[in-house]
Structure 1
Amino acid sequence: MIPGEKKRRSATEKRWLLRELLQRKSLTVMPGGFSPLYARVAEEAGFETFFLAGSQLSAFLYGVPDSGIIGLRDLVDHARHMAARTNIPIFIDADTGFGNAVNVHYAVTECIHAGVAGVQIEDQESPKKSGISSGRRCITIEEAVGKYRAAISARDALDPSFVICARTDALGAENSSFEEALDRCIAYVQEGGVDFIWLNSVQTREQLARACKEIPAPVLTIWGGAQPAPTLEEYEQLGVRIALYPTLAASSGLQAAWHVLHDFRSRGTEALLKWGQSIENSPFGRAHLDHLTGAAEVRELEELYLPESVKRNYESTWGHKDMLASVLQELQKTHHESNSS
């Protein structure tokens, strides 16, 4: 470990940390997105865990909808980078496990090798649909239980600390109901052996309270009912263990890019000036890419291990430390001078 570097948790340590979060009686809030950088931002903001959403992986890496288009290799390669660059547990979306129970066995094996803390596998029929869209169909409870048992078996053979979550998408699916969704959740714990349940798109507070009482495992949820959604305090009172906001980081970043690019196209540098002012006025300051990506470690490694003859000359060379900040500062200076004249 280089001097000053934060001690990195091992994959197993992060898995046990996720298990500890699940055993708390209090609520854990889990934001989500798709990239190592967003996961680092969440860690810096103080969140204890982060979710890799399949919908965002599909959208941001390939520009395609969440319809089962991405594969196992896409997922685990990306997840590996997220786990390697963060010190908090990464929980990932493995869709349907990319096939039947046989595929699930190998998918879980690969996810464990990727270094993440846990995985969710949903009970949809392949090819899946987005968990928040219409057109969903679920496989039988019996087939789903078999898939979860295969996941547990693969997990136990490699690292029993790895966390397996069963997600039911029965709410809103063809020929389904809340009662069936509840039956599925109970079976996935009692017969499938999963560690916790993701009850997707729950519709009412009453349903959520009942689910948390009757399901014999911790419950994660995202809200699918009428607005306003429960507050974090309400979620905790209802018995929810994890409140998931699966696309929060990525969707907010997308909306910011949508706004700034349209505004820049419309108003030119005036738009950048206004955006820069909003950043300066933020109570949380600017996001510094060098810090989030660990750029200082490169200099430390060079200083420690490179011979003097090949070390880089940082004194007589120069670069743009923060191109965006420089542009915004110059625009603000120009704007101030024009207003003063």
Structure 2
Amino acid sequence: MTDYGAVLRERLDSDGLLVCPGVHDPLTAAVADAVGFDAIYMTGYGTSLSKTGYPDAGFITMPEMISNATNIQERIDVPLVADADNGYGNATNVVRTVREYIKAGVGAIHLEDQTFPKRCGHTKGRRVIPREEAVGKIAAAADVRDDRAPNFVLIARTDARGTGDGSLDEAIIRANEFLEAGADVAFVEGPTDESELEHVGREVDGPLVYNFVGETGTSPYVDLPSLESWGFDIVLFPIAATLSTIANVYSDFSDFADDPVAAMRRIDENFDAQPVGSFHEFAGFPEVIEWERQYLPDEEQDKYEGSLGDDLESD
């Protein structure tokens, strides 16, 4: 089994910003992996919306998140950085949460200091737990990492900047205390402009994440060389696949309402223009057929003789 934490640490140690596109299920993850990235991010918002139909406001549960992360990491060949929300409880709950994500085989998680129920880090109404309690949760997570999977990457996120009376200084204090408690990477959510990003990069003593949410959030658009020069190491594009899916599906279904046949032809043409082979090949049927050849009786191959459909048998 691949140690994706070790792979991720190696990539973090190399020069350059690590760009992680956000995905919400194994299918969008497979597309991101086929395009080619060194790591992929599982969005909590997109997972909640795609799995439950509810927004990122504390509705999704730990087992649902773990299941999605497990299936995504199984489908891709690069490390997955997974959202672990606020650990689904206090420090004792965090112990189990981290153990479960480690069993899922992902390369990293991030834990935040929000209260329960939590909500998206770019919406109003967020609250954070007291600093001492938050540090204890990160310390618990770090101890589990050290005991169970030393290469597992622990990212500690603070939402202190976005609370009603939150300040950037408080967020920076928390980020540094999280690193001292054993986090590998700090994540200050919600800087509002480039000057705040520069300040975070200057004052936080450790590797840093930037959450690039675009127009759906409060943080600025900024070019990647600037982020790198300010000291950021990872940039997440959390809802890229989710927004793309919604926009494209809405457009496609609108076309279907007008002329379903023409719309289906256009969708087929757009798919055929992508360098992924046929839909069934991309979905993994050739591998299934190879498993059948290896493990099933020879007579099971007779079902392919004379049958109709795409020929996906491996040579």
Q: TM-score, normalised by structure 1?
A: 0.85
Superposition pairs of residues 12-51 of structure 1, within 5 angstroms = 12=3, 14-51=4-41
Q: Which has the larger radius of gyration?
A: 1
Give the equivalent residue in structure 2 for 1:264: 256
**Change in 2 beyond 3 A, CA 1:288/1:48:** farther
Give the equivalent residue in structure 2 for 1:210: 199
Output the CA distance in 2 between the equivalents of 1:41 and 1:205: 31
Structure 2 counterpart of 1:125, which letter?
T
Deviation at 1:304, TM superposition (A): 2.4
Deviation at 1:102, TM superposition (A): 0.6
Helix, strand or coil: the match of 2:66?
helix
Do 2:21 and 2:40's aligned partners in 1 also have CA atoms closer than 8 Å? yes
Give the equivalent residue in structure 2 for 1:329: none
**Change in 2 beyond 3 A, CA 1:162/1:50:** same
Correspondence 1:61 to 2:51: yes
Output the CA distance in 1 between the equivalents of 2:137 and 2:52: 28
Give the equivalent residue in structure 1 for 2:305: 315
Helix, strand or coil: the match of 2:178?
helix
Structure 2 counterpart of 1:233, which letter?
P
Output the CA distance in 1 between the equivalents of 2:254 and 2:277: 22
Gaps of 5+ in 1: 1-9, 323-341
**Change in 2 beyond 3 A, CA 1:250/1:226:** closer
1:70-123 CA distance string (max 9 Å, x none):
111111122111111211001111110000001001100111011111111111
Do 1:37 and 1:292's aligned partners in 2 also have CA atoms closer than 8 Å? no
Superposition pairs of residues 210-249 of structure 1, within 5 angstroms = 210-223=199-212, 224-225=217-218, 229-249=221-241
Gaps of 5+ in 2: none
Helix, strand or coil: the match of 2:303?
coil
Helix, strand or coil: the match of 1:202?
coil
Give the equivalent residue in structure 1 for 2:184: 195
Output the CA distance in 1 between the equivalents of 2:6 and 2:134: 26
Give the equivalent residue in structure 2 for 1:112: 102
1:192-237 CA distance string (max 9 Å, x none):
210001121221222212212221211011245575x112222222
Superposition pairs of residues 134-213 of structure 1, within 5 angstroms = 134-190=124-180, 192-213=181-202
Deviation at 1:143, TM superposition (A): 0.6
Aligned residue pairs total: 308
Seq. identity, %: 33
From 71, 89, 96, the counterpart of 2:86: 96
Output the CA distance in 2 between the equivalents of 1:114 and 1:180: 33
Helix, strand or coil: the match of 1:87?
coil
Do 1:169 and 1:199's aligned partners in 2 also have CA atoms closer than 8 Å? yes
Output the CA distance in 1 between the equivalents of 2:207 and 2:153: 12
Across the aligned residues of Structure 1 and Structure 2, the Cα RMSD in angstroms comes to 2.0
Do 2:191 and 2:219's aligned partners in 1 also have CA atoms closer than 8 Å? no
